[in-house]
């Protein structure tokens, strides 16, 4: 792997400003991350602002980390725009509410720092892509000189993990995201969408907020889990390989890593990654990190009928689907509105006691593409990742 695939891994136990200042500074220095900055440069920070959630929920990029990065960039003479397109409308009123809920409005007290107010969309063409050769994206990214991707380490029901590579899906306007799930419903094809977007936009720097991450029903409805690290790299794939290893995953558990490796863009194994910093990878691993789902990573060599039967059996054991927990549902219709396959209808509760309107979602399994958009954007976490009994047992054994 090249020098640009080096990953800085630095211990950071809290979001206290002085601790963040030390850890972020060290991680960036280890890879000479800010040498590209020139006076007058306009830098876009693509944060993870998937939904309006306070920093203590561990869903979005923490504003303390964003503040310190902005300060470092402004000190070097740059101006900074922070943005993202969360799930929902890409409109001023909607996104401004996201900024406020995520605690980002206070960052505009730094001279030279603004929150994105450009809500135009642009056409993108990428002939070299494997999946997404044509697409529309958020126009603010065209207005900046370079992009920094600042993600959050979380589980993800469809992709296994949401981190640096997956974070670039936020360049697709929120209301059109379901279209891409319909265009690319198969996991590998959708993972290649994420890789394509990273190769198209080519952020100059990737930083990961892994002080507090999310386990379980991620990326929005899981549980906060302390991880205690800040990471940085100039390429996303080695960075995500380290993050995956820290939460007990490998290349076959995270489809974006597998696709990047098959395309010759990323490492095949954690042993191929050069890790910098005094914090050892072994010490950074979080034991018993709960996954949103398990991707089948057991292979059977050879083409015998017996091996094919074993392979199918394993895939069936690990199969998952979204399922609503009726007593938590508030009947808000968000799942119905965001389902790209139009597989969800709202029906009378039939004796259940939902907290809202008296209607609950019903999923047509023949239409469901298992993209887990309903689970990702449920505001109360009532839509869960459901395993069949064998898969549930294996998932619990896996930790």
Q: Indicate if 198 and 329 belong to the same structural domain.
A: no
Domain count for the chain, please give it: 2
Q: Indicate if 243 and 199 belong to the same structural domain.
A: yes
pLDDT score of 394 more than 60: no
CA-CA distance, 378 to 359, in Å (whole number)?
Answer: 15
Residue 338 within any structural domain of the chain: yes
Report the percent of the chain where pLDDT is more than 70. 87
Q: Indicate if 144 and 246 belong to the same structural domain.
A: yes
Residue 257 confidence (pLDDT): 97
Can you list the alpha helix ranges (DSSP code H) found in the chain? 17-30, 63-75, 92-101, 164-167, 177-183, 187-201, 236-246, 255-262, 281-284, 305-317, 334-338, 373-377, 389-398
Residue 296 within any structural domain of the chain: no
Residue 89 confidence (pLDDT): 87
Residue 324 within any structural domain of the chain: yes
Q: Indicate if 35 and 120 belong to the same structural domain.
A: yes
Three-state DSSP class for residue 89: coil
Grade residue 162 by pLDDT with cuts at 50, 70 and 90. very high
Its pTM stands at: 0.82
Q: Indicate if 170 and 315 belong to the same structural domain.
A: no
> Can you give the CATH number for the domain in which 315 is found?
3.30.70.20
Q: Indicate if 340 and 204 belong to the same structural domain.
A: no
Instruction: Identify the burial level of 89 via C-beta atoms within 10 angstroms of its C-beta, where 0-12 means exposed, 13-18 middle and 19 or more buried.
Output: middle
Q: HEC states along 196-249?
A: HHHHHHCCCEEEEEEEEEEECCCCCCCEEEEEEEEEEECCHHHHHHHHHHHCCC
Q: Indicate if 102 and 221 belong to the same structural domain.
A: yes
Q: Indicate if 50 and 184 belong to the same structural domain.
A: yes
> Can you give the CATH number for the domain in which 40 is found?
3.40.50.11440
Check the CA dihedral 192-197-202-206 and report its sign. negative
Which residue is listed with tokens 């996954």?
291
Residue 375 confidence (pLDDT): 78
Q: Give the range among 143-152, 299-308, 367-376 with minimum mean pLDDT.
A: 299-308
Report the percent of the chain where pLDDT is more than 90. 67
Q: Indicate if 22 and 96 belong to the same structural domain.
A: yes
Q: Indicate if 130 and 14 belong to the same structural domain.
A: yes
CA-CA distance, 191 to 165, in Å (whole number)?
Answer: 9
The CA radius of gyration of the chain, in Å to the nearest whole number, is 21
| Residue range 275-292: mean pLDDT, rounded | 94
Comparing CA positions, the residue from 7, 14, 17, 9 lying closest to residue 228 is 14
| Residue range 10-33: mean pLDDT, rounded | 98
| Residue range 321-338: mean pLDDT, rounded | 87
Residue 1 confidence (pLDDT): 46
Give me the domain span that covers residue 393: 305-398
Q: What is the mean pLDDT of the chain?
A: 88
Residue 220 within any structural domain of the chain: yes
Winning range, highest mean pLDDT, from 176-180, 215-219, 384-388: 215-219
Residue 293 within any structural domain of the chain: no
Residue 343 within any structural domain of the chain: yes
Q: Indicate if 146 and 52 belong to the same structural domain.
A: yes
Q: Indicate if 269 and 190 belong to the same structural domain.
A: yes
Residue 229 within any structural domain of the chain: yes
| Residue range 103-107: mean pLDDT, rounded | 97
CB 66 within 8 A of CB 104: yes
Grade residue 367 by pLDDT with cuts at 50, 70 and 90. confident
Residue 255 within any structural domain of the chain: yes
Residue 295 confidence (pLDDT): 47
Residue 302 confidence (pLDDT): 44
């Amino acid at each position: 792997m090249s020098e640009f695939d080096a990953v800085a891994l630095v211990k950071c136990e809290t979001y206290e400003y002085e601790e963040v200042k030390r850890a972020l500074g060290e991680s960036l220095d280890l890879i000479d991350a800010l040498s590209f900055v020139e006076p007058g440069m306009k830098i876009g920070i693509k944060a993870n602002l998937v939904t309006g959630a306070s920093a203590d929920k561990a869903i979005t990029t923490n504003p303390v980390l964003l503040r310190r990065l902005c300060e470092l960039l402004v000190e070097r003479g740059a101006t900074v725009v922070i943005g993202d397109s969360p799930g929902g409308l890409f409109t001023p009123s909607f996104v401004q509410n996201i900024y406020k809920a995520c605690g980002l409005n206070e960052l505009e007290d730094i001279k030279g720092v603004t929150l994105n107010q450009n809500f135009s969309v642009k056409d993108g063409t990428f002939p070299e892509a494997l999946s997404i050769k044509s697409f529309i994206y958020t126009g603010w990214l065209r207005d900046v000189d370079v992009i920094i991707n600042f993600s959050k380490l979380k589980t993800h029901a469809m992709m296994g993990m949401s981190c640096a590579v997956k974070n670039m899906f936020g360049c697709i306007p929120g209301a059109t995201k379901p279209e891409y799930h319909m265009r690319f419903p198969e996991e590998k094809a959708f993972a290649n969408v994420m890789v394509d977007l990273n190769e198209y936009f080519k952020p100059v720097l990737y930083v990961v907020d892994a002080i507090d991450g999310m386990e379980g029903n991620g990326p929005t409805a899981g549980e906060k889990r302390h991880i205690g690290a800040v990471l940085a790299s100039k390429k996303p794939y080695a960075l995500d390989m380290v993050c995956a290893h820290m939460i007990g995953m490998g290349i076959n558990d995270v489809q974006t890593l597998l696709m990047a490796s098959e395309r010759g863009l990323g490492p095949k194994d954690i042993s191929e990654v050069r890790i910098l910093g005094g914090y050892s990878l072994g010490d950074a691993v979080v034991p018993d990190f709960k996954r949103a789902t398990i991707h089948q990573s057991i292979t059977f060599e050879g083409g015998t009928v017996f091996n094919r039967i074993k392979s199918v059996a394993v895939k069936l054991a690990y199969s998952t689907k979204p399922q609503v927990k009726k007593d938590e549902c508030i009947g808000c219709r968000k799942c119905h509105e965001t389902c790209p396959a139009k597989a969800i209808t709202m029906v009378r509760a039939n004796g259940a006691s939902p907290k809202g309107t008296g209607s609950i979602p019903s999923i047509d399994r023949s239409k469901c593409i298992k993209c887990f958009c309903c689970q990702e954007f449920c505001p109360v976490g009532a839509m869960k990742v459901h395993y069949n009994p064998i898969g549930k047992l294996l998932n619990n054994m896996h930790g």
